[in-house]
Amino acid sequence: QVQLVESGGGSVQAGGSLRLSCVAYGGTSSTCSMGWFRQAPGKEREGVAGIDFGGRTSYADSVKGRFTISQDNAKNTLYLQMNSLKPEDTAMYYCAADDLCLTALQALVRMDQFAYWGQGTQVTVSS
């Protein structure tokens, strides 16, 4: 059973940066696809970034050019570097993983495909 633990959230002013981390424990040799998702109060959860087994990435239009997803397989860690943060980026951020080998775009838009989820880390951006 894979367990995901996120960290790195916090409160920043608009224009600032944060780097989220997601460490995977247990059964990580079977995970193939990973992604970052977020949910703001009163809104549905949405895809932020996806990454496939080959390291190809896909991003939501709202974060393109500002966020970067990456992974360090040796450390079983997924990252989300967030730059030029905006108040509308305020949300709970979740990482997710699955044994299926999705494309990066599928990892971005098909959150229903992910079996493993972290507990979330809060990001708050003030204006």
**pLDDT of 31:** 83
Tell me the pairing of strands 116-117 and 91-98. antiparallel
pLDDT confidence of residue 28: 66
Per DSSP (E only), the strands in the chain are 3-7, 10-13, 18-25, 33-39, 46-51, 57-59, 67-72, 77-82, 91-98, 116-117, 121-126
Residue whose pair of structure tokens reads 């990456």 in the numeric block? 70
Residues of the chain under the 50 pLDDT cut = none
CA distance 117 to 96: 4
What is residue 57's three-state secondary structure?
strand
- Own/partner contacts of 40-44, CB < 8 Å, gap of 24 or more, are 40/88, 40/90, 40/91, 40/92, 43/91
Q: What pLDDT score was predicted for residue 1?
A: 84
Distance in angstroms (rounded) separating the CA atoms of residues 51 and 49: 7
